Amino acid sequence: MSFDIEKIRSLFPVLHQEVHGKPLVYFDNAATTQKPQAVLDALTTYYNHDNSNIHRGAHALADRATRYFEETRETVKNFINAKEAAEIIFTKGTTESINLVAATFGRKFIGKGDEIIISTLEHHSNIVPWQMLCEEKEAVLRIIPITESGEIIYAEFEKLLSPKTKFVSIVHASNALGTINPVQKIINAAHAVGAKVLLDGAQSTSHLEVDVQKLDCDFLAFSAHKLYGPTGLGVLYGKREVLEAMPPFQGGGEMIKEVTFEKTTYNEIPFKFEAGTPNIADVIAFKSALDFINLLGKKDIKTHEDELLAYANERMSEIKGFIPVGTAAEKVSVLSFNINGMHPYDVGMMLDANGIAVRTGHHCTQPLMKRLGLEGTVRASFAVYNSKSEIDKLAEGISRIARIKNK
């Protein structure tokens, strides 16, 4: 399918502006995607017409807000093909989702000498919570090494697996390099030794078809704002039997059935993990973002983004001094690179002067950058509203920068 890019772009108000006198080229989608008008309208409609707390009210506004909120939960369930909506927990982001699992499942089921496996590719949010848990429980954190191209060494992962392995937490697609990990093989191998598996889907859910039943992962964590939805909202999927075995994450309203000073009984899932007033407006608006993705079709979105990445690689290969970082065979639409002899931040600032928005630095993956011997990279990441003509502008900008350096 060939997208009508101009029609798609017309749905995103933020894209139609100038930055430093140049038309905005937004290539920072791995950090956050822009929001279609339908998402913005859903936010204002809630506050203008339906603003109320949910689940406990006996009036029309509360009923409407509750219904719209739970419709989003059902939409998320279908989006990742969970068995039931009760397996969908709303959090404030991927980071909180991972912390929730570490703080509940981890504290109940991980003990002294147990082992947790992560990879060199991980975002800090999938490193630090496990380090904290291991320090508290005297458990051991094992790391899957990677190749120079940014792919995990699967044979080394297999060597790390043992009866001591209780948990594997792995990124599905790297935010820094775009590498797609062989998560199906990882899940199957981990389950064979009795370990549970969490997938960090912050990047994969926006680019790839993710079917949690087919994958058989125990947990999946992702964020709305990388899926054309609002910031401050995340999702944790967990298998019912695993969620029911876990203690609550926080105490307060909503997560209880009955409270006395002697004893409190906890609510059923998902409410057991959703203490307090939730992020109602953003949850409701997230449905509009998922509807937008479903209307275009995940398969066609991926095809478009793959074409953009292939075209970008072709154009950049012509530029003297361009150094690609992360050349895995299977990638999402992330182009990470450096310019010979230049600091990534300087490159990013020079591109910004031409209206081109990219990300620079270590991308919250300092151990990965250390493994690659880099201080950081420049990262251009593509979304459904990006075009080949924008990539041409990026190539022209990089070419000018490289020429300046090599004069």
In the set 24, 364, 369, 374, the catalytic residue is 364
Query: Which residue, among 10, 29, 38, 62, has the nearest Cα to 285 in the 3D structure?
Result: 38
- Determine the Cα angle at 115 with ends 109 and 119, to 5°: 120
End-to-end CA distance of the chain: 43
DSSP, residue by residue, 321-350: TEEE----SSB-SEEEEEETTS-HHHHHHH
217 is catalytic: no
DSSP letter assigned to residue 247: P
Which H/E stretch holds residue 379? strand 377-381
Query: Which residue, among 183, 254, 176, 257, has the nearest Cα to 218 in the 3D structure?
Result: 183
**Residues whose CB is less than 8 angstroms from the CB of residue 218 and which lie 6 or more positions away in sequence, other chains included:** 196, 197, 198, 238, 239, 242
Query: Which residue, among 186, 145, 140, 164, has the nearest Cα to 199 in the 3D structure?
Result: 186
The two counts, helices (H) then strands (E), for the chain are: 16, 17
DSSP letter assigned to residue 57: -
Active site residues: 364
